[in-house]
Each structure stands twice: as C-alpha cells, then as structure tokens.
Structure 1
Amino acid sequence: MSRPRGATLRDVAVRAGVSTATVSFVLNDSKPVAPETRARVEAALAALDYRMSSSARALRTGRHQAIGLLLPDLANPFFPALAQAVTDAAWAHRHALILASSGSDTATEAEALAALAERADGIIWIPGTESPVHRPTGPAVILDRPSPAFASYDSIAADHHEGGALVAAAFHAQGRRRIGLLAGPASSPSAAGRAEGFLANASGLDIIWHHEVPFALTLPEPACAWLADPRLDGIFAASDVVAIGTLRRLRALGRAVPDDVAVIGFDDIPWAALTEPPLTTIRQPVDALGRSAVETLLARIAAPTAPVVHHRLAVTLIERASTSASGHVA
C-alpha cells in the first residue's frame, strides 16, 4: 500500500485563497503578511496538518529554524529548569531546540559546539570552562556565565553580584555576624560574581572561613570540620544544591537550622521549598533568562554585525525558614 500523500504548499494556498508565495512568507517569516491573511494561512496549515521538511527549508532558506543549547551538565537542577525556559521561548518563536551537555569537558564541549553549528541557526551556550578549545564562529549568546573571556559575544545573566549583596544584607538584618562562605568554583564566572558581591558588602560581618566547593550535593570531607565550628551562625552557599548538602551535614552534626546556624542558597530551584527547613535563597528569573537568551540570539541572527549587548536581570531574595524571620541575637 502506498503511503498517503502529505499536504503540499499548493494545497495550503488553495485552501487559504492565497498564492504559494504568501504561504511561504508565513512559514518562513520572511516578509510581512497582513494579519487577516496570516490567520487564513495558519488555519489552512492546521486543517491540512501541513509539515514542512526541515531539510527542504534549510536548503531553500539557509535556516534550520532551530536553536542549539549547550549546558555544562544536567545534574544540577537549575540547568534543566533553564533548558525548559529556553525551549518554551524557542517554540514561541517557531524554533525547535537542540540540546547538548558537555559535562564541563573541553573536548566534549568542542565536539558539541561543532555539531550544533551544523544543525542550528545559532547557539545559546553556558560555558563549562573559561578556556574552551573551540568557540562558535556563528551567532551565539553566552547564558548565565558572562566573563571578559567571552566579551565579544552577546550575554544574558542574572545579576550574580547583586545576589551576593542581598545575602550580606539578609545576614545583617537577621543579626548573623559570624559567617562561613561556601563559594562555588572560582573558574565559574557566576560563582565568582556571587562571592564578590557578598564579600564587597560584608562590612561588619566576620567571615570565619571561605572555601571553594563544587556545585554538588556532596560536600568535601573537610566540610564536617568547617560546619562544626561553634562560632558559626550563618552560611552562604553559592548554589541551592550546595546549600541542600549543607543542611544535610548540619543535621548530621546535630546543629539546628536556623536556631544555631542560618543557611542561604542561590538559584531557587524547585527543591529549595521542599527541604527541611525550607531554604532561604536568591531567586534567578529563569523564565526571563530563557526568553531573553532566545530573543537576543534571534536578533543576532537577523543582524550579525549589530553591536554586542550584555543584559543583567534582577534577582530576588526569597525568605524561608532556614533563616530566622524574627532575627537572631549575636
């Protein structure tokens, strides 16, 4: 039995009462089409279940109608949430999303960038390292981890520095004065910005210790001694994943949160509201980050020589029970 013939461009044009060129303009967003005409074409496309071949589109227009997204990993819950936001924004602009993860390995990152460049019109990239062996030569936007090393690319990020400053202000307001800082890796621009913002606004706080740790639930073995320090009454963890690992360690040590020690994280991943106690944290505007990254990339694709832009989005302190709402007597 022969396979049923799919609807053609001409079928759509006849049903909508327009030319095939008009249907093509609507499909490719290549020329303005009157709203009433666009509505008729879109209704005909839906009624006939028209599907354009992506390979045919690419051959005709040079565009894949796809965006690449390269993440450092998928283990940190923040990145899948960000990937969903990028996906939603891409679909809103009639673009598919091609997702890859580098595992923060430079060789894998280089292979992924090359593969995405062949299949996507542009790449949204969260670098796994500041010294990649390969960089995009086509349209690209740096997401979440802006740094001078990538200043030639458009970038979108939450205001990590301001987030760190909000943490310092929260400890001041709570009367917490003896603070431990579990900073993320110094190689991560986002982690570095959070730590810098905190330390720049830590006047009046006693930073008892300051250690770099991976963005992971499992803390390094020396963390037991750090968290057991009896002087400690506040901890800033550079991500919610680290903060959740900190809550677990403190519970094992018999230290009550927030009575003995207050804990503040960063990101506001879904788990943050489900911990015991629920985690005070800095919320990144995930949906806005994804939307801005997609819109900035599409603008770059449309205007390759336009000036580079760097967007910083505001963050918010979300207070929960891991810090005392009524304050703390130092």
Structure 2
Amino acid sequence: MSRIRGIEAKLIKIQKDRLPDLDSRSNKYVEIKKKNEESFEYKSDVENDQITDLLLKLPKLTKIFDVHKKIGEGTFSSVYLGSLKQHAALPDVQKRWFAIKHLVPTAHPARIEHELRCLRDMGGKDNVIGVELCLRNLDTIVFVMPYIPHRKFSEYLGDMDAEEVRQYMYALLVALRHVHSFGVIHRDVKPSNFLYDRENRRYLLVDFGLAQRASSEPPPAALEAPRKRPRELDECTNDAKRMALDLSLGARGAAAAPADAIDAAATVAGFPDAAFALAAKLLEPLPAERYSAQRALDHPFLAAPAPRSGE
C-alpha cells in the first residue's frame, strides 16, 4: 500500500491533522445512516447500508461529498454518484457531479496502483476519464472522477443513424489512440465502459481496472500470421495489435441484446459501404491487415470533417 500512498500524495494534499476518532462506531453508524435516509433516495436498504458503511469507513469522504446512490458495480469495485457538499443547497442542474469509485478491499495493491496511474497519466483528455481526487483510510480506497449523464447502450442503439454511429466511433477511436500512445491496452472496451451523453455529444472511456501495458515481445512462432510482402509486414504495428485486442475483448465480453430489441436489417439499411469496410479492418484477424486507431481515424468513413464532440 505504500506505493498507493505515494501516488495519492501527488494528487491531493493530505491534511496533517488527524480527523477526530470515532467515539462510538455503532452510534456513528446510526447517525450517518439517519442523515442519509433523510437526505437522499435509494434503490434499496442494501444500497443504503453500503453507502452508510463506506462513509463510516472513510470520514474524509463525507466531509467533502454527498453520496446519493449506486450507479455501477463490478467485480473489483462499486461506483456511486456524488456531489460537493458545499453545493447541497443548489438546484441539481447547477451542481457538479462525480463518479465515486470504491475499490474492493481484496483488490491487489499493484492493480489499484496501475489503475490510478492510468487515470492520472492518461486521463482528462481525448475522451479518457481522469481522476479528481483519491482518498484512502486503511483498506478503504476511492477514486473521485468526473461524471457525465448517460443511458444504457441498448436504449439508443436502435435509434442511431449512420452519422451518429460515425461520431460515436470517432470518439471511441480517439480515446483508444490516446490510451495506446502510452503503450497501454484497456482490455475491457464495451458499451458500458464507453459512456455517451447523447444530448450533449460527450463521451468518456472509463474503467481501467483490467488495463495493462502491451508487450513488445513478438508472438510465438506457432501463432504468427502467414508470411506477407515486406510492405504488409511493416503495417503490423503495435498500435494495430492493441486495437484488435481491445475491440475483440470487448466484443466477446459485451452482453448480447435481446433478439427482438433491434431490427438489424432496418438498423444498417442507411449505412454506407465504407462503414462495413472499416468494421472489417478493425476486426481483421491478420496482423498485417489490421488497422490501428490512427489509421481507422483516417478511413473515409471517419475522415474530415471530424465529427463534432462535446469535449
């Protein structure tokens, strides 16, 4: 955990004065829970108890933020919607909203450190989520990150026309190009990890919990692609490998939409041939033929004028 403390110190100025010790853990729990129930709406008693427990374990958090509800959950973390306590009297539209990610206590320190480094070093530009604050008390760690309103992918996929898909893909590829430029692969690219604020055309690639540095070592001989002309072999770049790995992992991991949710034929009817040509290049199994994020952005389907973005 010493490495995490080191990174944390670079992100925030930790107060030198120790917060007052809790006089009674049980009494403090009841006090926080009562305040939460009076101030916020929750989906369930279980969720309310989880938030209360988090605030009890991390007193610094409750001094700065109001934690409203859970908005996401995964194997290694839970994510909550928060706002600044100093903005409590403001209308919701004027508040600044945050995603508060609580890491499970059993997460390996190296995993936590790597995710925090990704957020710190890569985040905050090119549609990649950054980190505003890191708070820690013993084994309770939270990352405080920007939040954008978004809906489930399945709720708008069937309504997207070719132009909107073009803008969406452009934003995603810009994010992946940025991540790959640091020699990192996300390893969990899927709709739920690429947030889309449809009303304002804003995008965020999130959740670097599974991210890792791409290996520069060549694949074993048994896995090499058939020999190609030297010019084609030159196209087998590390960026292209990272792109294929990110997209293929996301394709395998994303849950399929219900069969009756989307009329596939109607959905793709207005799409140009260039869109399908680009999709084929992004998922090309042969490394020499596969597109990197930058090359995909130069493809006719995505090329200038660049799609507008709220970023």
TM-score by length of 1: 0.23
